[in-house]
Structure 1
Amino acid sequence: MATPIWAPGQNGPDQPNTARIRDYWLGGTHNTEADQQQAAQFVSASPHLPYLVRAHRAFLRRMVRKLTHLGVHQFLDLGSGLPTAGNVHLAAPDAEVVYTDIDPSVAAMSRDIIAGVDGVAHLCADFCEPAKVLESAEVRQTLDLALPVALLVVDVLHFVPDEKEPHKILRTYMDALAPGSHLGLSHTVRDPLQSAVGLFSSMYTDQVPQFAYRDRNQIVSFFDGLEVLGPGVVPVPLWELDQDEQDLNPEHFPGLGGLARKR
């Protein structure tokens, strides 16, 4: 039986891995033939998946640029995957960044990728345990929590079920951050992955990953107590769309994104 691609620490270069598949769809180079073959199978079931991944990454870059213009130069990126293909430290080269991912194999590859890059670290941790993340050596040695930090939760919160209390998790992070810190997140609204999940089920006998598809009101509530910045919580491609970016029917994108400030 094949090892599921979402099993942390299990898949080497000869087996597909979720983070490397995403890197492939983003045009990165840190992926293998196994990842590319698996990606092709996913696309045959859900052709829109690469577009969704690229739209979330473009949103991340736009948000990082805005935050640097607002004077924020510290970033804590939760569930970041591989730090490639326009990720935070590439969009803001002078920033201090801590990436996190639960997968030890992704963390090991990430540390190799960022080796020698000043002010950038990668922490292998479950971001649903904020105390462990905030007290880690990687965070304490890289970020100054007495100064504003941008907490980034992009294209990942829909993997956190309600029973893990995602609102409480985000509040714990934001309570620990200084005034002037920001929360930036994107979240899937509808179920564009239904056919892909069906494909997972047909390929593996293990339990498929669970997705928490929340509605607009639930997503907006993640910003409770914070000052939501313009243009508000909107479809991901519409959030401060660059003039040189084009998107067909962006208002129909099945995910929302937003940025908010801690007063």
Structure 2
Amino acid sequence: MQEPERTAATAAGVWDWFLGGRHHVAADREAAINSQRSFPLASRVAKYNREFLHRTVRYLTSVGVAQFLDIGSGYPVAGSVHEVAPGSRVVYVDYEQDTVDVSRQILSDSPDATSVHGDLRDPEGILGHPEVTGLLDFERPVGLLLMSVLHFIPDELDPRGIVRRCTAPLAPGSHLAISHGTRPSDERSRRFQQDWERVYNHTVVENFHSRSAGEVTSFFDGTTMVPPGLVLAQDWHPDDPDYVADAEDEARQVLLGGIGRMG
């Protein structure tokens, strides 16, 4: 597959590199390697985020959700939603047109999944997109997935208001799932992450904004949190029944995750 003709690194491309994909370009590789040098935990955080997505989708299908809107999805590879929940209807949304173009090629043999161009900052444009409304039935529960995307929306653009606009038209029984970067609790890791954010924001189009657990919890206003609430993403419904949180795992400290039920 021909690489997109672009020279600026994007979050989708950097994420693809971290996950071992093949849809990134040279600028993405360079940005990912530079950020990995300043924050060696970056690739493990990307892995933890993808594992949280998998557990989220499996949980939602277990409670009867069979359609998903994944905003800020990047490329639908490396165990994306339609692979974890076969038979479900899935719309991937990304604001980079070349990411969407490649994604549509990847999904060409998947009749129940598609990718559309849209910007989280314009929820109405996404929710009213003819391909979104053509595939998803908003009178039935939807799994709204905002995985590692809200930390690219600065406070001055009112991310809480954006989330409320996204959830407003969704039927009772829909769920909001969020993963979000946060500052680690120990000073050494926090210093590493600050260095990483500086490098990342200098080289990638979308700037990164860490938030506290309290700030991320506010995105779930109007929903009922699924137990155990907002926690470190690795600690949310772990697959291993004998899972014990590793306090020494610094990568575990920088990603929050949770799900809220609507209605």
The bucket for the TM-score relative to the shorter chain is 0.7 to 0.9
Q: Residue 177 of structure 1: SS of its match in structure 2?
A: coil
Structure 1 residue 22: Cα displacement: 1.3
Q: 2:41 aligns with which of 34, 48, 52?
A: 48
Superposed counterparts of 1:71-150, under 5 Å: 71-150=64-143
Name the CA shift for 1:113/1:24 in 2 (closer, same or farther; >3 Å).
same
Instruction: Determine the structure 2 residue equivalent to 1:188.
Output: 181
Structure 1 residue 116: Cα displacement: 1.9
Structure 1 residue 208: Cα displacement: 6.9
Structure 1 residue 16: Cα displacement: 4.7
Query: Is the CA contact (8 Å cut-off) linking 1:98 and 1:120 kept in structure 2?
Result: yes
Q: Residue 236 in 1 paired to residue 229 in 2?
A: no
CA distance in 2, matches of 1:36, 1:211: 18
Q: Residue 262 in 1 paired to residue 248 in 2?
A: no
Percent identity over the alignment is 36
Q: Residue 153 in 1 paired to residue 125 in 2?
A: no
CA distance in 2, matches of 1:171, 1:35: 32
Structure 2's unaligned 5+ residue stretches are: 184-189
CA distance in 2, matches of 1:261, 1:189: 23
State the TM-score, normalizing by the size of structure 1.
0.86
**1:207-245 Cα distance to aligned partner (Å, 9 max, x none):** 974333221111111111111111211001000111187
CA distance in 1, matches of 2:206, 2:26: 23
Q: Residue 242 of structure 1: SS of its match in structure 2?
A: coil
Query: Is the CA contact (8 Å cut-off) linking 1:200 and 1:208 kept in structure 2?
Result: no
CA distance in 2, matches of 1:225, 1:14: 41
**1:180-207 Cα distance to aligned partner (Å, 9 max, x none):** 0000001112166422333357x76xx9
Query: Is the CA contact (8 Å cut-off) linking 2:231 and 2:257 kept in structure 1?
Result: yes
Q: 1:225 aligns with which of 214, 219, 222?
A: 222
Q: 2:58 aligns with which of 62, 65, 75?
A: 65
Letter in 2 for 1:187: H
Superposed counterparts of 1:2-41, under 5 Å: 12=5, 16-32=9-25, 35-41=28-34
CA distance in 2, matches of 1:79, 1:155: 8
Letter in 2 for 1:211: F
Query: Is the CA contact (8 Å cut-off) linking 2:72 and 2:94 kept in structure 1?
Result: yes
Structure 1 residue 14: Cα displacement: 6.8
Q: Residue 172 in 1 paired to residue 172 in 2?
A: no
CA distance in 1, matches of 2:193, 2:98: 25
**1:75-134 Cα distance to aligned partner (Å, 9 max, x none):** 001111110001111111111011111111111111111112011111111111111101
Name the CA shift for 1:200/1:33 in 2 (closer, same or farther; >3 Å).
closer
Letter in 2 for 1:169: I
Name the CA shift for 1:58/1:200 in 2 (closer, same or farther; >3 Å).
closer
Letter in 2 for 1:139: V
Query: Is the CA contact (8 Å cut-off) linking 1:197 and 1:208 kept in structure 2?
Result: no
Superposed counterparts of 1:191-210, under 5 Å: 193-200=193-200, 209-210=206-207
Name the CA shift for 1:193/1:102 in 2 (closer, same or farther; >3 Å).
farther
Q: Residue 68 of structure 1: SS of its match in structure 2?
A: helix
Query: Is the CA contact (8 Å cut-off) linking 1:59 and 1:237 kept in structure 2?
Result: yes
Instruction: Determine the structure 1 residue equivalent to 2:186.
Output: none
Name the CA shift for 1:176/1:23 in 2 (closer, same or farther; >3 Å).
same
Structure 1's unaligned 5+ residue stretches are: 1-10
